[in-house]
Amino acid sequence: VKVFKEKQMTCINLTRCNLDADGAKEVAEYVRLSCSLTTLDLRGNKLGPEGGVALAEALKVNGSLTILNLYNNQIGEAGGAAIAEALRVNGSLTSLDVSGNSITGASAHELATVVLGKQTLEIFCDIPLKKLRAGNLTTLDLSHKGIDVPGALVMAELLRTVDSLTTLTMFDNQIGAEGGVAIAEALKVNGSLTNLDARYNFEKGPLGDQAVAALMEAVAGREGFVLRTDG
């Protein structure tokens, strides 16, 4: 971090550096003070909830960071809730990835709500928010992106209003039963989508079966609709 301060870094890549909560706090302190940093990639570390909260606090006062990747960092529901709170006041971020962090339940819903209301955020968990809102996409491939519940909730809400998308591929993600049911509910009001690939997203057992059943029910009777699931 001392080196970062001396060099006034604009881009920092600390992917898979085994950073823990203490390391996250050091990075967060730099983020809090920096006026030059625009990109921060922390994928594949072990920041944990405490580290997630520390970075969220830094985001509240940082005005330069535009791209933040926290993929697979174990920040959990506490970290997710803190990031949601920070997003309410942060005005610089245009791209944020928090997939693979076990953010579920109320924290996932709160984060999705804030993301959907943040017009300055252009990309969330690899979902191209700006392009979807503008109606510029007919096909979207989100295969192998590690998208889990927050991303699925955001995608579900977008499906309620986006009328340009006809093909959505979410093959091999982690949207789980919660995300699957949310997308199923959105499909009941979406009139443009004709092809959905949701394979390899659901846990084995009753919850996964419930999500698959909800998706099948949502498109039942829609002639020509192609649905691919694990069921």
How far apart, in whole angstroms, are the C-alpha atoms of residue 198 and residue 185?
Answer: 14
Q: Check residue 4 and give its pLDDT.
A: 65
7: exposed, middle or buried (Cβ count in 10 Å: 0-12, 13-18, 19+): exposed
Report the DSSP beta bridge partners of residue 226: 195
For residue 69, give the 3-state DSSP assignment. Answer: strand
- Which pLDDT tens digit goes with each residue over 212-227? 999 999 999 999 999 9
| Close Cβ partners of 1 (under 8 Å, ≥ 6 residues apart) | 26, 27, 29, 30
Q: Check residue 1 and give its pLDDT.
A: 59
> Could you tell me the pLDDT band of residue 230, with boundaries at 50, 70 and 90?
confident
Closest CA to 163 of 129, 134, 130, 192: 192
Residue 11 has pLDDT above 90, yes or no: yes
First-residue to last-residue Cα distance in the chain = 49
Q: Check residue 135 and give its pLDDT.
A: 95
Q: What integer best gives the mean pLDDT of the chain? A: 95
Closest CA to 106 of 75, 71, 150, 147: 150
The mean per-residue pLDDT over the stretch 139-162 comes to 97
Q: Check residue 5 and give its pLDDT.
A: 62
Residue 6 has pLDDT above 70, yes or no: no
Q: Check residue 8 and give its pLDDT.
A: 79
The mean per-residue pLDDT over the stretch 23-47 comes to 96
Query: Which domains does the chain show, CATH number per domain?
Result: 1-124 (3.80.10.10), 131-231 (3.80.10.10)
Query: Quick one: DSSP state of residue 218?
Result: H
The mean per-residue pLDDT over the stretch 150-161 comes to 98
